[in-house]
Structure 1
């Protein structure tokens, strides 16, 4: 991260939020994965209104995403992220540089988010695992039976997402969405010496070129790690 990015982010917070309790700069510019289109992800902690809200803007040549929070809203979003096993809020604060810390809450909340990230998500229940195995199995059958090339590609993308999420959460690893889903699978590979991230990506590319075998093989390998395919005998009860 360049000193200029840090200084621009800090001054923006000072100018717009003079009563801020704390502020953090997170995202790609901090963790070292920034690209030419990366923005400044700034989380701001206020004592109350106008928080919480989110705003997108451009400041001194940088696209900026502002996440203006209260302690209650941070707790709300962290709980929702924990339930989804996708720790977006904890990442933004836990993997950050502190811009301002007026009352110690900046360091306190960052350390708390670091502990949350290190602990990992809650374990899947048997019901959740069965539902995910069934969903991936169903998509795999759809891929095998699809005749339209565009349908196959759409199924392959959805199958990549569902398989990656199954792989990660069944192993007690955080998941994500979009680029973060790929990054989490790559991190999983680094920890375990596996190659699922590249194999799943190669499988999608192969489907785009008209070949499904490699995608079928890698998805089947993931299913085999968590109990195998599941269709016959699967039952999900409705509400009430």
Structure 2
């Protein structure tokens, strides 16, 4: 497992070499959170006074794979707010749960504190069309799994169902959600908060589905739906947008 102190030293050196004009920089990700593996990278967020930011870049430095998130004040604010509003706080976590590498004017500490406050407050609660759309997606996938034509189709649909049901569960519980490995981490965090066992159930559902038994995936999704208003199909309607439609008179 990579050593945190060495990761911080290397990250600070790369900022000094590649971004001498940086106002602030942070090292986040798995090496800071304590979940690093031999394949972990350095997630470095850099705050510049202006262009060429914002951009994202992938490089190597001293043997590390490096993910760079290079921002201005306004672009960092935009992406932090966007992620928080979506319930998936990638940028806020990279800055809020970080080691400050550079802080020339106090901005590094200020942004870190702001991100920490946003993380502690939790995501906006899912309501209205957003909640209905997730309920509909889980209901639709339940049907796909139940009536799949063959084992391959059933397994692919079951994996999607487990993912969407976990997303609905986390959103409905007022918890952050994630993709990939972050599904597991967010479910574990929810279990710690609520004294539940959703992470274990999710894992067991996927393992048994891979072996050809989708009953645990179906039960997992059924229980999630029951907590969030039940299945939804009939009556689910969302308005669309026709770019060719004329705006109503007087709207200009």
Q: Same fold (TM over 0.5)?
A: yes
Distance apart, 1:3 and its partner CA: 1.4
2-side partners of 1:208 and 1:52: how far apart?
42
> What secondary structure, in the 3-state scheme, does the structure 1 residue paired with 2:7 have?
helix
2:246 is matched with none
Distance apart, 1:79 and its partner CA: 2.2
Distance apart, 1:237 and its partner CA: 2.6
1:212 is matched with 214
2:43 is matched with 41
Give the conservation status (yes or no) of the 8 Å contact 2:96–2:113: yes
Distance apart, 1:186 and its partner CA: 1.1
2-side partners of 1:93 and 1:156: how far apart?
35
Give the conservation status (yes or no) of the 8 Å contact 1:86–1:175: yes
TM-score w.r.t. structure 1 length? 0.97
Most deviating of 228-237 and 63-72: 228-237
Distance apart, 1:126 and its partner CA: 2.0
State the superposition RMSD in angstroms.
1.2
Give the conservation status (yes or no) of the 8 Å contact 1:153–1:204: no
- 4+ residue segments displaced more than 3 Å: none
Q: How does 1:117-196 map to 2 (within 5 A)?
A: 117-196=119-198
Q: How does 1:33-72 map to 2 (within 5 A)?
A: 33-72=35-74
Unpaired runs of 5+ in structure 1? none
2-side partners of 1:213 and 1:145: how far apart?
13
Bigger Rg, structure 1 or 2: 2
Q: How does 1:104-123 map to 2 (within 5 A)?
A: 104-123=106-125
Query: Which residue, out of 85, 91, 101, partners 1:99?
Result: 101
Give the conservation status (yes or no) of the 8 Å contact 1:21–1:103: yes
Unpaired runs of 5+ in structure 2? 243-252
TM-score w.r.t. structure 2 length? 0.92
Most deviating of 111-120 and 225-234: 225-234
Give the conservation status (yes or no) of the 8 Å contact 1:26–1:92: yes
2-side partners of 1:132 and 1:177: how far apart?
15
**Alignment deviations for residues 18-77 of structure 1 (CA, whole Å, 9 cap, x no partner):** 111000000000000001100000001001011111111111111111111111111111
1-side partners of 2:195 and 2:241: how far apart?
41
